[in-house]
Amino acid sequence: MNQFLRLSLFIICTVYCAQAQNKEKIVSLLKKLETSKLDTLRVTYLDQLWGLTAYSDPPDAIKYAKDAIEVSKKIGFAKGEARAYQRLGIAYSNTSDYKNSNKAYKKALKFYKTNSDDYRIGLMYYNLAINFKDESQYDSTLYYNNIAESHFKTANDSLQLANTTGLRGSVYFEKGQLLLALQYTLREAEMFKELKDTLRYTDAIRTLASIQHYKGDFKQAIKNFHECISLYKKYNDNYFLSIAYRDLGVAYLKSKPVVADSASFYFNQAIKIANKNSMDYQEAAALAFLGELHIKQDKFKEAERVLLKSRSISQQINNNLSESSALLDLALIYRKQGKLNKALRFANDGLRLASDKELYDNINSGYRNLYEIYKAKSDTKNALFYFEKFKQSGDSLYNIKQSNTINELQIIHETEKKEAELALQDEEIETLNKEVEISNLKNILYSVGMVAFIVIAALTYFLFKQRIKKRRIAHEKETEIYKQKIDFKQRELVSQTLHLVQKKTFMQEIQDSLERIKQDPKLFNTESKRLIALLKRENATDRDWETFKSYFAEVHSDFDLKLKRITSEITDKEIRLAAFLRMNLSTKEIAAMLNVLPDSVKKSKYRLKNKLALGKEADLTQFLNTL
């Protein structure tokens, strides 16, 4: 018990600290939102608020996404509107509202298709695939996932290709094709490891742990689930944290012997997080597993309570699997309590739903339930009938699993065959390319010979004319060079004269200060400060800036005008800072040029970034380099 108490306190403290940090950021952004204008910066603030709440507080995330859509429409910000619809789709998905989620994704998809944005088109198809996977519509999942994969290949995005690989592994896992699931999940984990993406690597490890659990390797599965949970808590990812808690609870539930305390603890953690964040799908599933645990412990009253709640939530979100499982488990409870008529009603309802949706495991469980109920009622005829049905469905289930295994091996074989064909095609293409290169080289050599002959003939013909032309051009160049030298010497003379005058004035001021110190040593402190000020002024004189500005303007024409077109509120000092950043000077170098502290430069950069309406993630220097 002490171990669980310490674990509970640790989890509470960790979650509390993460939430406190997020709350501070949210409060800060809300203050900025209150004073912001109706512009793209306001959309950026709403998007950042969505990011802080998408997985920790989905209902708030939905509100921020809708506000971003409204603002984007008012200011004609089509790109922001599409992004906000994408955000809205994710937030709805996190609350298991897949219908509205899909609508939002398709609105975003329409914009991205118009702009031929392969990366974001792929994202929308991938998100649709995830929704269908959560609803156990696996054919649709693989269909949209394949479309997404093709767009990610066009966009050359390794990260999203790893995601599509992982989703395919998850589908095969849920279909019971564990070899394929393991193959794709290991590939996914390796891809994310190479990309150094810790959070997505964690998702892959969670799927791998689930596969290990179903293969009976509970010890390794539990170890991997614990690793995932610690990382999800670190990143405050409540959506997947709830799933990981539930899956860890299932691993303890299916262990032999059952580790009831641990299973109960983690199921309740999953339910608590799912309920708080309106994750109905996850809450219904965790409640169903908790009900199964209570049945194993003969806690029928508690089991009935959580299973009725699971059924209610499942009906609301149209989760047929969880609803059917809850009905059949409730029938089992009522049979054990001797409430046979009630058990019969629930068993029939659960079996009917399982049959409609072709949930074969639940169909088999339903027939067994009915056999046990009629047996308890001493109805031999019906008991025998459903026993036969139970055996037949068990055989069918075995055949389905065997068929799945055969299909799985066939898919593996076809995949390997396809990969071999692609490798052979690549080899043939390489051979053809070499042949083309050799042919091209021959043609080039022939062409070069012909061109060389023509050139020699032409050179012979034009030789005399070229000599005369060269002499004339050389004479003109010499004349121009002399003119340039005279102009340069004149400018240099003026520059040197001005420099000497400035230097003379500067030295005279220093000499006067030293004379005053000599006559009256008491003036040392005052005059020394004045000398330092003179030196600083000489070092950071505006004349240096004007010289720099003139040279800078020759290289980067209209730089200051471009900045003023973006915002009329920009000051000369901020233009100067922007010019230094455009020259790729560091903060310390700029501070030295302006004779200020580096922190002052950082603050000036932050103010400049806000005036230019750049987002938090935008790089100021990169933006200035585009002007």
Run of H or E residues at 251: helix 238-254
Residue 528 lies in a domain: no
All residues at 6 or more sequence positions from 162 whose CB lies less than 8 Å from its CB, including other chains? 188, 191, 192, 195, 197, 200
Asked if the structure places residue 579 within a domain, the reply is yes
> pLDDT for 292-317, tens place per residue?
999 999 999 999 999 999 999 998 88
> Of 378, 393, 424, which residue constitutes the final position of a domain?
378
160 domain residue, yes or no: no
Cα gap 269→4, rounded to integer Å: 12
554 or 159, greater pLDDT: 159
Residue 107 has pLDDT above 90, yes or no: yes
- pLDDT, residue 449, reads 67
CA 172 from centroid of its chain's CA atoms: 24
Cα–Cα distances (Å) from 465 to 33, 308, 616, in that order, read 75, 103, 65
- Nearest-CA neighbor of 182 among 162, 168, 199? 168
Question: Tens digits of per-residue pLDDT, 423-449?
Answer: 556 566 666 666 667 767 767 766 776
Question: Does residue 436 form part of some domain?
Answer: no
589 found inside a domain:
yes
Q: How many domains is the chain partitioned into structurally?
A: 2
Alpha-carbon distance of 252 to 285, in angstroms, equals 16
Range of the domain at 308: 279-378
Asked whether residue 574 is domain-assigned, the answer is: yes
Classify residue 506 by burial, with Cβ atoms within 10 Å: 0-12, 13-18, 19+: middle
Of the three residues 360, 378, 396, the one that is the final residue of a domain is 378
| Joined tokens for residue 221 | 């599965």
CATH code of 315's domain: 1.25.40.10
Ranges 348-352, 382-386, 417-421, 508-512: which has the least confidence: 417-421
Task: Please report whether residue 296 resides in a domain.
Answer: yes
User: What CATH number does the domain containing 580 carry?
Assistant: 3.40.50.2300
pLDDT band at 6 (very low <50, low <70, confident <90, very high): very low
Q: What is the pLDDT of residue 422?
A: 53
Neighbours of 527 (CB within 10 A): 19
> Where a domain ends, among 343, 378, 413?
378
595: in domain:
yes
- CA-based torsion, 185, 189, 194, 198: positive or negative: positive
Q: For residue 47, what pLDDT band results from cuts at 50, 70 and 90?
A: very high
How far CA 211 is from CA of 150, 172, 321, 572, 576, in Å, comes to 27, 10, 20, 63, 60
Q: What span, in angstroms and rounded, lies between the C-alpha atoms of 70 and 55?
A: 22
Query: In this predicted structure, what is the pLDDT of residue 492?
Result: 47
Q: How confident is the model at residue 617 (pLDDT cuts 50, 70, 90)?
A: confident
Whose structure tokens read 């989760």?
Answer: 319
